Every structure is written in C-alpha cells, then in structure tokens.
A and B are shown apart, each in its own frame.
Chain A
Amino acid sequence: DTEVTQTPKHLVMGMTNKKSLKCEQHMGHRAMYWYKQKAKKPPELMFVYSYEKLSINESVPSRFSPECPNSSLLNLHLHALQPEDSALYLCASSSGQGASNEKLFFGSGTQLSVL
C-alpha cells in the first residue's frame, strides 16, 4: 500500500471550474512532486518542491498552480483547464537529499476529466 495519500481519487470538472488536488505523506520526506500521466504514456514531471520551496517547474501552464503548505502536504490548484488536461495526476515524494539514488513513492493518483 502506498504511504502517499491523494484526494480525490476521481474528479470531473468543467472548463470554468476551480478545483484542488491534495497530497499528503508522513514519511518525513522533504521532496514532493506532481506528475501528469496520459493513458499508455510514462509519467511526465510537472513540479518539484524541495524543503517546501518550488525547485522545478517544467514549463507547466499557469492554469496549474502548485502549493506546498508544509513538509507533509502538497496541493495542485486547477483553474480554467482544457479537455486535453484530462489525465492521471500523480503525487510522489522522496527523502529530498538531492542525491541521484532517491527512490520515489507515488500516490494512487487523481483521475481527472475535464469536460
């Protein structure tokens, strides 16, 4: 079972809606991530937070807005999304030491549909 918890598991929203995805971990990890995964594709990195500061933004459109309130929580605020944004959104965490041998722990994801 994953130790990274994501809510909601499923979300359907219109293009004018504002919604938020939530992620929580209690492993003491200091790096947290948002990935986007389309069907039959690998996960694509969106954002990385390291020690609660945004360290990587992979040129993600501003309609996606990440937030890291504390070391255990990560949010992704969604506004004015497009149908092509429909995907599985995965949160992950790692110890955050910055070494190249860190393994990622993924949450179960939020399956997002934009109508």
Chain B
Amino acid sequence: GQQVMQIPQYQHVQEGEDFTTYCNSSTTLSNIQWYKQRPGGHPVFLIQLVKSGEVKKQKRLTFQFGEAKKNSSLHITATQTTDVGTYFCAENSGYSTLTFGKGTMLLVSP
C-alpha cells in the first residue's frame, strides 16, 4: 500500500487546549480512516472519510478530508485527559489492505 505520512509524531497539551494531527499522501487516497489507541490498548475505529472535502464531527472531534483527497486532519477542541492516546490515520485501499500512518501520540496534562 502507499505511504500516508502523519504529523506531528508527538504532542503534549494542557487540558482545554486544542489539538490537530495531519495525514498527507503524495497520491490520491481512496478513503481515510481514523483510529485511536489508548495506552496499553488496541486500535479502535473512529471514523471514515470518503468524499472530497468531507467534514465530519463527533462531539469535540472534527475530521476533514482534503479537496484533492491527498490529506486529512483530526482536530480535537478543548482536550480532556480522556483524549490521551495515539491517533492513527489509515487508508483502506480495498482487498482488505489497511495502511497505517505512523500515528500521533497525544498527552494531555490536567
């Protein structure tokens, strides 16, 4: 599968601050999925974006898919300690192949 680059690798914020992680690809993505993995846990599916320019919200989380379908972002408003974990973007290119970005580890201090 193609590479999806994810930045930043790590971010430490104070509770209440916002957080954004970005995924970029040099080629057009068929779709982008986002997963969250808590420390010591397993990846949990958050959302999938398919359409160009798509924006989806889940409470304080906002997911965007770029117009060219080459980038995506996850924005968390007013972080809470429960947001701690590693957020992965991943492309599902079909034929059961999911390619993960390297992930962004989020730490939230109370």
For A108, the chain B residues whose CB sits under 8 A away are 41-42
Q: Which of A40, A90, A98, A101 contacts B50 (CB 8 A)?
A: A101
- Looking at B41, B45, B96, B97, which has the most chain A CB atoms within 10 Å of its CB? B96
A26 at the interface (CB under 8 A from B): no
A99 to B96, CA, bound (A): 8
A42 at the interface (CB under 8 A from B): yes
For A55, the chain B residues whose CB sits under 8 A away are 95-96
Q: Majority SS of interface residues in chain B?
A: loop
Quick check: B94 and A99 within 8 Å, CB to CB?
yes
Q: What size tier do the contact residues of chain A reach?
A: 20 to 34
A78 to chain B, nearest CB (A): 19
B103 at the interface (CB under 8 A from A): yes
B107 at the interface (CB under 8 A from A): no
A105 to B33, CA, bound (A): 12
A2 to B102, CA, bound (A): 23
Quick check: A42 and B42 within 8 Å, CB to CB?
no
Quick check: B50 and A104 within 8 Å, CB to CB?
no
Answer whether A2 and B94 are a contact pair too, CB < 8 Å, given A41-B102, A42-B88, A103-B33: no
Q: Which residues of B contact A (CB under 8 A)?
A: 30-31, 33, 41-45, 48, 50, 88, 92-98, 100-103, 105
In the A-B complex, the 3 residue pairs with the smallest Cβ-Cβ separation, listed nearest first, are: A42-B100, A100-B94, A106-B42
Q: Which residues of A contact B (CB under 8 A)?
A: 2, 31, 33, 40-43, 45, 48, 50, 55-56, 90, 94, 96, 98-109
